[in-house]
Structure 1
Amino acid sequence: MLDQYTYVFVIGTFFAFLDAFNNGANDVANAWATSVSSRSVTYRQAMILGTVFEIVGAVAVGARTADTIKNGIIPNDAFKGNAGVQMLAFTCALAGASTWVMWCTRHSAHVSSTYSLISAVAGVGVATVGASQVQWGWNHGKGLGAIFSGLFMAPAIAACFGASIFLLIKLIVHMRRNPVPWAVWSAPLFFLISGTVCTLSVVYKGSPKLGLNKKPAWYIASVTLGTGFSLAILSGLFFVPYLHAKVIKKDYTLKGWMFIYGPFLFARQAPADAEVAKVPDYAVVQHSDDETTPQGSVNGSASEVNEKNLVATEVKQLTYAELVALSEERMNARLRKKRGPLGWAMRLLHDYPMGDGKIYEIPNLRRFLKRLPAQIVVGLLYGANYDIHAAQTGVEGTPDGDRMRRVYDNAIKYPNETEHTFSFIQVITACTASFAHGANDIGNAVGPWAVIYSAWSTGDAAKSKAHVPYWQIGVLAVVLCSGLVLYGYNIMRVMGNKITYHSPSRGCCMEMGAAITVLVFSQYSLPVSTSMCITGATVGVGLCNGTLKAVNFQRVSLLVLSWIFTIPVAGTLAGVIMGIVLNAPHFT
């Protein structure tokens, strides 16, 4: 029979996995939402790159020690050597934090997983040792006062950095009469900036195991600037000739692998009929509900046009919930036409809906068992096929869709050839952000679980520093990435274009602005949420359009409210759970 410690360990492990899953669905998804919104990468590419760099960052250079009192919030002697109370405390903290973040993710409200866990630990501390014993002040940069000091400062500073970088790009590239050549020839400069910033991100936020942040200043400067200039030189030798042939000569026969030709591409002759550069369309638009023949098109017959007018009139009479449901059903109908496992599963669920009555009715039980394999397949594959861009632009005919149309109308659109230049830079910044997040934030995810495991396996309250085995880091890194793949679309569909108009030149500025802000706060040992920084940088870049109407402040206000409510809700929830379980009647 399992003892009570094993029960707590099993429950704690479950909530540790749930917290890591939520971390991936929230923080990692938010980190890649900018790149997906800018169309620099597809959602599937973001999942692959995010998974690879998160796991590599976590396993290769991730922190292997975990502060069992979570940055000094609970005093060392709070548990008085009682391993059971310590296990229970961190289990309740994980339960409160993961429950709140899961609810927010389900409703597409982005919150910081790290701040949720910190608030939950504070709530557990109040329930365990009393409010007077919790470190509410600065506590050498580890108390709650220091942790939450960046709640509003960090987004504001990130907005300034992001806007400054974007204004530099506007001055050098976008404001020129012919911006495409300026974008091509100035590319090494922006590769230099991004390479330096990304290297500093790895040094100060993503390499606690390597200890690079403790090296002399001359060493750090040499490494960062050396990396930045090396990247700039490589871009000048290979990227600039490739881009010159593709967007200036408009050579549509150029293949991606031909960048290895380097300077020889300058002598390459483009086809005589090359008139338009073969680059993706980065425009963010709201597509019509009818994807075949536009309403009133001369290609349609009079009866077809009249029928579409009647349908349009009926659609306008639908409620907001019905319009959203209609949009979701339209996407699901496209998925049902797909070949492969997802199409089969979507068709089966559509053809065999649950009947009237409770699930224990015999017909419903039979249908449930028949639908179960399809539901598992949909759960695994639905997120990878979700139409992120359609969800971000809002449903036409709804207040949300009208609001997003106004935001896009007030944003300046730049040529696709120019934006294509910055899409490569944005991929670099996004991959580096994932690497640094996996290396640094894996400690926040694995720390409580390491404490619970250590207390369960040894029977003693863990010391101030608990050694974290590689296998624990690897397991939670995989769980974290599964959150991005399976559930990250809930956050991506409201981030990015839901706040302001995105494009690659804007997106790389947002990511670099957030990275610089994290670096600044790291210098003063102030923990800060990368997700909050990227949100602030997004607003700052959006304001560079020259009008407040280019930013969806309603969505921004909802995000800020979710940040604020995270502190009392997660803390109270975890504290109540701890108080109830700790003081519940029991038999010995």
Structure 2
Amino acid sequence: MGVHQYTYVFAIGTIFSLLDAFNNGANDVANAWATSVSSRSVSYRMAMVLATIFEILGACTVGSRTAETIKDGIITVEAFKGNSGVQMLAFTCAVAAASSWVMWCTRNSTHVSSTYSLISAVAGVGVATAGASKVQWGWHEGSGLGAIFAGLGMAPAIAGCFGAIIFSLIKVIVHMRANPLPWAVWTSPFWFLVAATICTLSIVFKGSPNLDLDKKAGWYVASVSVGTGGGVCILSAIFFVPFLYMRVIKKDYNVKWYMAIMGPILFFRPAPPNAEQATVPDYAVVQEDQEHISSPQLSGEVKVEDNGNIAITEIQSTQSTYQKLMAEGEQRFHAKLRQSKGPLGWAMCVLHNNPIGAGEIYEFHNMAIIIKRIPATIVAGALYGMHYDIHAAQTGVSGTPEGARMQRVYSHAKKYPNEVEYGYSFIQIITACTASFAHGANDVGNAVGPWAAIYSSWKTADVTAAEAPVPVWQLAVVAITICAGFILYGYNIMKVMGNKITYHSPSRGCSMEMGAALTVLIFSHYSLPVSTSMCITGATVGVGLCNGTFKAVNFQRVALLLTAWILTIPIAGTLGGCLMGLVLNAPHFL
């Protein structure tokens, strides 16, 4: 393969690697933050800001470890027989197959693991390139397919156990008390201690290659992690507890968030005489929202009986009626966006007022309309996700089968007072950021691993260069692309996650996120790629079961997730292997 061919393959591989990173953000990051947004602990836009910060931090500090497994732990370097061009083709085909599959699933709101999609595609490419014997099927010191796919079953189960244990502690310490509000206030520093320790542990214990933190002794790791967590615990006791006490116990509606800097002085602040209700958000999941949801329109014959009762006969709820009901909900949401001020409102009005006319797309009037729609389409594509109503979409449209199913699930989950849940919303922000950091540390290897191998082969024409450390600039570029995927397209996955599985609240949400973060950190420490989505899903199910009944979990949604995860392995592997076989054996004249 000549120099020009190397450049072409490198360019194509770069495009598909970044596309895979974009899909990773739209799929996995959206699922990780769905818990916080579903619990109403953080707004969707604030989640975008925090996710961007901590994804980049996690990727740039500790992300390269997992990348080493992806780029040279599945296919041996000897399998390419010193041909760097074949190595570039292999990883390019792998990311092309994986990104195409994940993009199709995301477009159809089907959540799959981008981690296992890429791993399966790399394995398929390895079979097509050098045969099944050159693929590391076994454990291979923790970096083979056997070790990686073991996480498919272990990770959700472990995360579920962690999440259930943490939430059970919260229930015993706070929720099961006769008067849980004081317990929620005075025990909040302990949960800040736990969350801050996990966050610090993810940085120090896993180690940063640039700071050599991974070479520190065990006592150093333990002391720094617990010391930092203890410091945050003390700060929360000094500044957060007085603020929370005034807000939820004294019900002082004049206390603002920035007054927390006053610390214990707030204890001596007199509450307003008319303070009867604590000014905290309502964390209840709203099943019906009249601004976005319409009632079902059923066809049938209405008959008034002699006693004045109304009898409806021959009612038929057809599939067309269901589709019409869902379309009406979307139209109501779009109508609200068109009324808003700003670029998105303008874009939605332009798209609504300039529909494609009759005839084929190449008709002159349609071509003129398309030209007029292009700027609005770009603006809408960039801003639509930031304004999407996640909560209305998660609960389901009233009158539909899924809306009724979610109502049954919510009815079996105990609702705790908003004043009690309020304190955990702040803790959940820390746990959400920890989960995002862990995701950046682990899942950034999905896209950067193949891209780093392609870049090394293109730069040095040496297959052994794939074993070199991943440059920090590549980690940063991929992390930024992941965040862009979450911001621009993450709503498509987030709307079917979170409350679609079980009832969410801040105390439940922080338990789920801490359980998932612990699991991801454990796997990432041993350089094992694991799906953050699987971990948060397992933790969600574990916390949902703490309600004491299987009916509190939507196992239909869980079954759909498991089916998609399992199907990803053969589909992505087959796509990658077939694509590599076609490209590698295509006729050429050089």
Q: Report the TM range for the smaller structure's normalisation.
A: over 0.9
Give the corresponding residue for 1:3: 4
Deviations 1:16-68 (A, max 9, x none): 11011011111211111110000000100100111122123333554289538
Query: Over residues 120-150 of structure 1, what are the superposed CA-to-partner deviations in whole Å (9 max), with x where a residue is unaligned?
Result: 1100000000012211111111110010011
Q: Which residue of 1 is the match for residue 200 of structure 2?
A: 199
Of 409, 414, 433, the residue aligned with 1:407 is 409
Q: How far does residue 453 in structure 1 lie from its aligned partner after superposition?
A: 1.8
Query: 1:68/1:506 Cα in 2 relative to 1: closer, same or farther (>3 Å)?
Result: closer
1:459 to partner: Cα distance: 2.7
Paired with 1:210 and 1:416, the residues of 2 have a C-alpha distance of: 43
- The change in CA–CA distance for 1:375 and 1:526 in structure 2 (over 3 A counts) is closer
Q: 1:423 to 1:540 in 2, by over 3 A?
A: same
How far apart, in 2, do the equivalents of 1:409 and 1:208 lie? 49
Superposed, 1:357-368 pairs within 5 Å as 357-368=359-370
More displaced stretch, 524-533 vs 565-574: 524-533
Aligned twin of 2:439 = 437
The aligned residue for residue 223 of structure 1 is 224
Q: Tell me, what secondary structure is at the counterpart of 1:501?
A: coil
Deviation at 1:85, TM superposition (A): 0.5
Structure 1 Cα separation of the partners of residues 81 and 39 of structure 2: 52
Following the alignment from structure 2 to structure 1, what is the Cα–Cα distance between the partners of residues 143 and 85? Answer: 25
* 1:301 alignment counterpart: none
The number of residues matched between the two structures is 572
Other-structure match for 2:303: none
Contact 2:126 2:135 in 1 (8 A): yes
Q: TM-score, normalised by structure 1?
A: 0.93
For 1:298, the equivalent position in structure 2 comes to none
Residue matched to 2:586? 584
TM-superposed CA distance for 1:528, in Å, is 2.3
Aligned-pair CA distance for 1:391: 0.6
Where in structure 2 are there 5+ consecutive unaligned residues? 297-309
Deviation at 1:197, TM superposition (A): 2.1
Change (3 A) 1:206 1:537: farther
- Tell me if structure 2 keeps the 8 A contact 1:69–1:464: no
Counterpart-to-counterpart distance in 2, 1:106 and 1:541: 29
- Separation in structure 1 between the aligned mates of residue 411 and residue 562 of structure 2, nearest angstrom: 25
The offset of 1:469, in angstroms, is 3.1
| Residue in 2 that maps onto 1:475 | 477
Where does residue 179 of structure 2 map in the other structure? Answer: 178
Distance, in Å, in 1 between the alignment partners of 2:292 and 2:442 is: 45
1:161 aligns with 2:158: no
CA offsets per residue over residues 1-27 of structure 1, 9 Å max, x none?
Answer: 982222211111110110110111112
Aligned 1:261-276 pairs, distance under 5 A = 261-276=262-277
What root-mean-square deviation, in Å, do the aligned CA atoms of Structure 1 and Structure 2 show? 2.3
In structure 2, the CA distance between the partners of 1:336 and 1:234, relative to structure 1 (3 Å rule), is same
Correspondence for 1:302 = none
- 1:331 correspondence with 2:328: no
Q: CA deviation at 1:443?
A: 3.0
Residues 518-541 of structure 1, C-alpha deviations (whole Å, 9 max, x = no match): 344456654422221110010011
Per-residue CA deviations over 1:537-564 (Å, capped at 9, x if unaligned) read 1001111111111111000011111111
Q: Confirm whether residue 115 of structure 1 aligns to residue 116 of structure 2.
A: yes
Match of 2:17 in 1: 16
Matched position secondary structure for 1:74: coil
Structure 1 range deviating more: 337-346 or 103-112: 103-112
User: After TM superposition, where is structure 1 displaced by more than 6 Å over at least 4 residues in a row?
Assistant: 291-295, 313-317
Q: Which amino acid aligns with 1:40?
A: S
Q: Over residues 375-420 of structure 1, what are the superposed CA-to-partner deviations in whole Å (9 max), with x where a residue is unaligned? A: 0010000000000001100011111111011111111111111100
Q: Which amino acid aligns with 2:243?
A: Y
Between the two proteins, what is the percent identity of the paired residues? 69
Q: Tell me, in whole angstroms, the C-alpha distance in 1 between the residues paired with 2:77 and 2:70.
A: 7
Aligned counterpart for 1:488 among listed residues 469, 490, 498:
490
| Aligned residue in 2 for 1:465 | 467
Distance 1:467 1:126 in 2: 25
Change (3 A) 1:502 1:581: same
- Determine helix, strand or coil for the equivalent of 1:219: helix
AA in 2 matched with 1:516? L
Distance 1:514 1:24 in 2: 17
Question: Does 440-449 or 265-274 show the bigger shift?
Answer: 440-449
Within 5 A, what are the aligned runs for 1:337-416? 337-416=339-418
* 8 Å contact kept, 1:64–1:469: no
- Deviations for 1:249-279, whole angstroms, at most 9, x for unmatched residues? 0000011100000011110111111111111
Separation (CA, whole Å) in 2 of partners of 1:123 and 1:480: 24
**2:39/2:506 contact within 8 Å kept:** yes
* DSSP-derived class of the 1:3 partner: helix
Q: Deviations over 1:98-122 (max 9, x none)?
A: 0111111111122221211111110
The residue identity in structure 1 corresponding to 2:4 is: D
Structure 1 contact 68–464 (Cα < 8 Å) conserved: no
Give the deviation of 1:198 after TM superposition.
2.3
1:237 equivalent to 2:250? Answer no
